[in-house]
Structures are given as C-alpha cells and as structure tokens.
Amino acid sequence: MKISLCLRAVWFIAPLLAVGCETSDPTSAVVINEYPAGGDPSTAVTVYKAWWSVALFADPVAAGQASDSVRIVPGDDYAYALLAPGWDPTTGTPPPALIPVHTVVRLSVERGNTLDIAISDRATVGNCSANSPLSAEDASFIVERIFPGEFAGVVYDPATCTAVPVTDAGSD
C-alpha cells in the first residue's frame, strides 16, 4: 500500500519537476567581428581573442566573420576582446599590436539560447582610433586578469592604445 502511494506521488510530481528544468538545449555564444571585411588588409581589424563569463574564444575572427559556437553557462557579464589591427591571422606570426576592449553594456543569455557577441567600435570601448579609450582601471583589469599572457613583459597605455616593453632597471 505504501509503495502504491509513493508511485502515485512520483507520477504526480514528475511532470511538475520537468517544467522547472527549462530546457535541455545547450547555451552557446559566438563572436561576431563587425569590422568591415575587404579593402586594404593593413586597415582590417581581426578579433585576436575574446572572453565572456567563463568562455575563452581562442581562435582569431577575421573582419566580417563569426567564430565557431562555444558552449557557455547562462549569465550576465561584459565581453572582452583583443583587437589586432592590420594583422592577417594566416601569416602564422603573432600580431604586432593588440588593443584590449570590452563591450559597452553587459551581455546576458538565458539557458538554451545563443549569445551573439558583437565586436565593433560602436559595441565596445577601448579602441583609441575610435576615440573611446579604456579607463586605466578597465585596461588594468583586462591586461592583468583576462589576457595576462598576451601582455606579459609589456606595459599597456590605454590613453594611446600602445604597449611598450618593460625594461630591466639593472640592464644597460
């Protein structure tokens, strides 16, 4: 008799629990490089890397292209990226210059949806050539916490969007 009551309770509660699970579809994100493609390659802007919440987009995204989809967790955060102006990812050489940027607004995505992370001068802050340099605090956060490897051995100046090598005080 007790087993029968337990089974009835399970049959009654199971549909209610299923409703609370939202969706079994994965949550994902793509980086969309909205800088214009074509024209002079020396003026093209490649998104070298990007970061949102807990997801690293490690592959470069050429101007006018989108990244592969990356599985993420639902959330709400700024997206961060490194711009590589005038760099061609097919050369196999590292970019000569990197410009850290972050989105103007926090981006959010709900479970089962895809987050489109647009990277452009109107969608981000940090590109000096667009007259929107980062604050010193934001620049420090990005180069020290988000992309520290890319800025190892250099000091980044957000007012000019340039990185200069750190010099040893003891070397001549």
| Tens digit of each residue's pLDDT (9 = 90 or more) over 128-168 | 999 999 999 999 999 999 999 999 999 999 999 999 999 86
In a domain, 8, yes or no: no
Q: Is it the case that residue 15 has pLDDT exceeding 80?
A: no
Please work out, in degrees rounded to the nearest 5, the angle formed at the alpha carbon of residue 164 by the alpha carbons of 161 and 166: 140
The pLDDT value recorded for residue 8 is 53
Laid out side by side, the sheet with 70-72 consists of 70-72, 27-33, 114-119
Number of domains making up the chain: 1
Query: In DSSP terms, which residues pair with 157 in a beta bridge?
Result: 162
In a domain, 11, yes or no: no
In a domain, 85, yes or no: yes
One-letter identity of residue 35: Y
The pLDDT value recorded for residue 9 is 47
In a domain, 73, yes or no: yes
The answer to whether 144 and 118 have CB atoms below 8 angstroms apart is no
% residues pLDDT > 90 (the chain): 76
| CA distances from residue 36 to 12, 14, 59, 115 in whole angstroms, order as listed | 56, 51, 19, 21
Residue 92: give the domain boundaries: 23-164
Residue 14 is classified by DSSP as H
In a domain, 13, yes or no: no
In a domain, 103, yes or no: yes
CA-wise closest residue to 45 among 119, 103, 106: 119
pLDDT-derived band of residue 2, with 50, 70 and 90 as boundaries? low
In a domain, 172, yes or no: no
